[in-house]
Amino acid sequence: MPTSQNFDSLLKQFEGVTFSAESDVLLNTESDAQNSSDANETARYEVPKSSQMVNVTVQTITIQSLSGTRTLLNSSDVLLLPKYLDDQVCINVVLGVSYSITYTDAGEITAAAVSFVLGTINNTRLPIQQSFEITFTQLNTKPVPLSGNPGYVIGLPLRAGFRPPGSGIIQSTNTYGQLTILQSSSNQDCLAVEGVRTPVLFGYNMISGCKLRITASTECQPLANIILNVLKGQNFPEYVASFGNSQAQDVLDWVPITHIQSSEQGLCQIPVSFEIEVKWSKYGSLVNPQAKIVNVSAMVITTILAQTNFGSEKTIQIGSSVTFIDVSTPAEPGYKAQPTIDAKLPFDFFFPFV
């Protein structure tokens, strides 16, 4: 079965452009039943061999300019080779390669595709950074989108969910709807934006808000419930994944959301702000650190609603924010202690000087 560890050797073994889909898997089972006429017979299931060669097809080719803008080529059949335009500029340089391998449950490769990002570089901006990735997808299955492997990737949504008693984490199938905040609109009307949300993306500090008009006939408690529903949404999650690839069954890889209430003393208190704070740290190797979420808190700030005179109205500002804080401990170089010299000299070593 192809894996990320043996992919390079497969490329060399099959000359780099084709894969052998040959499979030789035998499954032998024996009946344990006693006093049966077929107790000594063996049921044998064999996956038929295949000598089919699977070509690596080019899915897309994207061209990146010197300024960083990207353009998708209409045809991927064109062979683009690197070449110099002048002494300083070279075009069609490979900046990124993405392989996609499809296989069956028996380990037989059925399809292979590749996508390229070719760019224009200037020798005054050397060295360049290249990216390579490979994904394996089993046939007739839908891959689960992740937000990192293992650490979170900046710009991808935070993975969140609920945990019923005695169960693992339950998540929404919409990865961009698992943890959201209020989305601002042009008219700034809180009642109009109820249910309109925007996803919380890792590493992106965000702030949004709306305005709410209050009259003398407005009742306090129903108003507080409406505002809280606008700020938190209908289904605010209980847990956030520590890593971008945390599995739902690994409950210890999920961080519970801590709820904090900040309020003033008074008869009528309404929420005016909802603040989410995400603390994360760099985990693993110093060469390639991975982003790990270590703490998530959600604070509701309330204020006292003053009584409005009959026939008049006032407007209050409602806000929501997300803040990411890096709590990584700075790396410090470590040195071994200097060796101690335990030397014993004879008592007359310095004779006759001492």
* pLDDT tens-digit series, residues 299-319: 999 888 777 665 577 888 999
Q: 278 with 313, same domain?
A: yes
| Average of per-residue pLDDT across 122-128 | 85
Question: pLDDT band at residue 113, thresholds of 50, 70 and 90?
Answer: very high
pLDDT at position 85 is: 86
Q: 131 with 238, same domain?
A: no
Q: 171 with 320, same domain?
A: yes
Q: Residue 153 falls within a domain, yes or no?
A: no
Q: 107 with 212, same domain?
A: no
Q: 224 with 320, same domain?
A: yes
Q: Residue 119 falls within a domain, yes or no?
A: yes
Please report, rounded to a whole number, the percentage of residues in the chain having pLDDT higher than 70.
82
Q: Residue 250 falls within a domain, yes or no?
A: yes
Q: Residue 23 falls within a domain, yes or no?
A: yes
Give the number of domains in the chain: 2
Q: 193 with 103, same domain?
A: no
The Cα–Cα gap between 262 and 257 comes to 16
pLDDT at position 28 is: 37
| Average of per-residue pLDDT across 6-28 | 46
pLDDT at position 49 is: 43
Q: 168 with 310, same domain?
A: yes
Q: 216 with 83, same domain?
A: no
Question: pLDDT band at residue 19, thresholds of 50, 70 and 90?
Answer: very low
Q: 267 with 201, same domain?
A: yes
293 close to 255: Cβ distance less than 8 angstroms: yes
| pTM exceeds 0.85 for this model | no
Q: 226 with 106, same domain?
A: no
Q: Determine the structural domain holding residue 43 and report its residue range.
A: 7-138
pLDDT at position 76 is: 65
Q: Residue 339 falls within a domain, yes or no?
A: no
Radius of gyration of the chain (CA): 31
Which residue type occupies 271? P
Q: Residue 335 falls within a domain, yes or no?
A: no
The length of the chain is 354
The Cα–Cα gap between 349 and 242 comes to 65
Q: Residue 110 falls within a domain, yes or no?
A: yes
Q: Residue 287 falls within a domain, yes or no?
A: yes
pLDDT at position 206 is: 95
